[in-house]
Structure formats: structure tokens, C-alpha cells
Amino acid sequence: MTDYIDLNFRGSDRVIATAVLAGPDGVTLVDPGPTSCLPALEDGLRQRGLTLRDVRTLLVTHIHLDHAGAAGTIVERVPAIRVFVHERGAPHLVDPARLLASATRLYGDQMDALWGAFLPVPKENVQALQGGERVAAAGTTLSVAYTPGHAKHHVSYLDETTGAAYVGDTAGIRVSGDFLIAPTPPPDIDLPAWRGSLDAIEAWQPVSLFLTHFGAVTGAKAHLARFREVLTNQAEAVRQSLVAGSTDDERTRVFVEQMRRETRKAMPEHEARATELAAPFDQLWQGLARYWSKAG
């Protein structure tokens, strides 16, 4: 089973997980999380007899702040670390100004409390990916696939030794039990591309999936099939809301209330709160509404 560290985001467990791959050539972290969670990441490493200085490689699935925010801070402390990221995300790690401006439109004055600093990664540390590569790290080889749909700069990684696929947000969010939601924040949601990405992951025939939100999932094929249904149903719910003749504020409110009811029906209150921390429900509506508006 994949080793991971719970980053205890906003004091809650089961929101953001960083996968830890340890090998003879050092440690690889998949999605190091935001700088606000760096103390939890370091504590998790210490519990394994490790420190950030043992880290040689960061594998970033995509550059959203909850996945990649700490990359620059980590590289500042350990300058030899390699950071793998899709080529469309690489420039924003090197110069995060536009990324931070976009995120600030969503999070406003909560940016620092939520995410902490997002320091640039030196260009020489960044390894840009297109998809189709094989990366040697932590004593294993990982295949890379370009997996857009949630984000234009999303990649997934398959550990060829264990069969574990590290899929970021492409296979959904699962905090508790079998309850799944689709992470659909603005601005990049693309449903056909997302379905193609699920096809690409399924073609790997992975033994397990690792979700940044949250943890390892066995029965990969069944999980991917269920997530396809969830993605379709969530998108259709937003599409139908757009023809209901109401305001966007009212449509968002109804969607959020429905999501909260469904989540609390499926799991205890603290896990329901963790689910909404991982993917704020109003943003799920906004991303899909933007997609349908662009799609006509």
C-alpha cells in the first residue's frame, strides 16, 4: 500500500495527502501540498526517520496551490531537488504571479491563511513533461500520462513496479467510504478531455489509484467506472440548474445545499467538512457553469 503523509490541512485530517516513495537514491514526494502544511509534511517525514534533505524529487500532478504550493519553499531549502510538472504548468512554477492572481480572485484575503507562501521554483530545477515520458525516481520507474480535464496542466504517474497510479484530482475526491465527488473548480474544466484522461489511466490497468484527496484506492477499474458516473451526474445537475431561470447566486446556493445533504447522508460530520475543505462546493458549481457557458 502506498505510504503517504496526511497534511492536516486547516486542522482537519483526510483532506490533502502527499505520497512518499522511498528508494536507495532518496525520497520522492508526489504533490507536496501547500506551504501552510509544510510543518505537517516535515513531521510526517520525521516519523519515518527522514527530513526534507532526503528528498530528491517532487512529482507534481498539477500546479493548483493545494498540490504544488510548497514546491518552491522546499527547493529553496534543498536546492538540488528536481521538480517534474507538465509543460503548461512549468512556467507558472518558475513565475507564479499569474497563478497567484487567479487564485486570489477565488480566495481573496484568505490566500495566506489557506496556502502560505508560493515561492518560485528556479528554472534549472524544473523538468517539463508532455506525457509519454518515463521518470526514474526512488528506485523505480514511473510512466507519465497527460491527463487534462480537471486542469490543462495535469499529469498522472504510474509506478511500473507496484502498479500504483498517482492521479492527483483526475479520479475524483473520496474522503470516506465510497462517496465520490468530482473536483470541478474554474477555470479549466473540460469534460471530453477528462473522459479521455480516465481512458488513459484505465489503459494502464493500475493495481491501485492514489488520490491527493484522499489516499490509496484499490479496485481501480471499479473506482474509475463509478467516478465516470459521478462526473456525468454532477455536470448534468449544473447544466440543468442553468436553464432553471434563476440567478447564479441562487443556483449556487441550491447546488451547495444539495451537496451538503448528500455528503452528510454518506459520512459523519467531520468527514463531510473535510470533503468540502478538499473541494469547496460553490467552486464545483462555478467550474461546471463556466464549462457549459463556453460549450454553448
The per-residue pLDDT for 121 is 98
Q: Is the CB of residue 6 less than 8 Å from the CB of residue 40?
A: yes
Q: Which CATH class is domain 3-295?
A: alpha beta
The per-residue pLDDT for 86 is 98
**216 is written with which cell numbers?**
490509496
Q: Is the CB of residue 228 less than 8 Å from the CB of residue 195?
A: yes
Helix (H, G, I), strand (E, B) or coil at 148: coil
The per-residue pLDDT for 106 is 82
Q: Is the CB of residue 183 less than 8 Å from the CB of residue 279?
A: yes
Q: Model confidence over 160-203: pLDDT tens digits?
A: 999 999 999 999 999 999 999 999 999 999 999 999 999 999 99
Rounded to whole angstroms, the Cα distance separating 103 from 285 reads 17
DSSP strand pairing (208-211 vs 164-168) = parallel
Cβ within 8 Å of residue 259, ≥6 positions away: 181, 276, 281, 284
Number of helices and strands in the chain (H, E):
11, 12
Q: Is the CB of residue 110 less than 8 Å from the CB of residue 277?
A: no
Q: Count the Cβ atoms, other than its own, within 10 Å of residue 189.
A: 29
The per-residue pLDDT for 105 is 87
Best CA proximity match to 185, nearest among 150, 147, 149: 150
The per-residue pLDDT for 133 is 98
Q: Count the Cβ atoms, other than its own, within 10 Å of residue 214.
A: 24
Which H/E stretch holds residue 30? strand 26-30
Cβ-based burial of 133 (10 A; exposed 0-12, middle 13-18, buried ≥19): middle
Which residues in 60-203 belong to E strands, given as ranges?
82-86, 126-129, 134-137, 140-146, 155-159, 164-168
Cβ within 8 Å of residue 244, ≥6 positions away: 251
pLDDT in tens, the chain (296 residues): 799 999 999 999 999 999 999 999 999 999 999 999 999 999 999 999 999 999 999 999 999 999 999 999 999 999 999 999 999 999 999 999 999 998 998 889 999 999 999 999 999 999 999 999 999 999 999 999 999 999 999 999 999 999 999 999 999 999 999 999 999 999 999 999 999 999 999 999 999 999 999 999 999 999 999 999 999 999 999 999 999 878 999 999 999 999 999 999 999 999 999 999 999 999 999 999 999 999 97
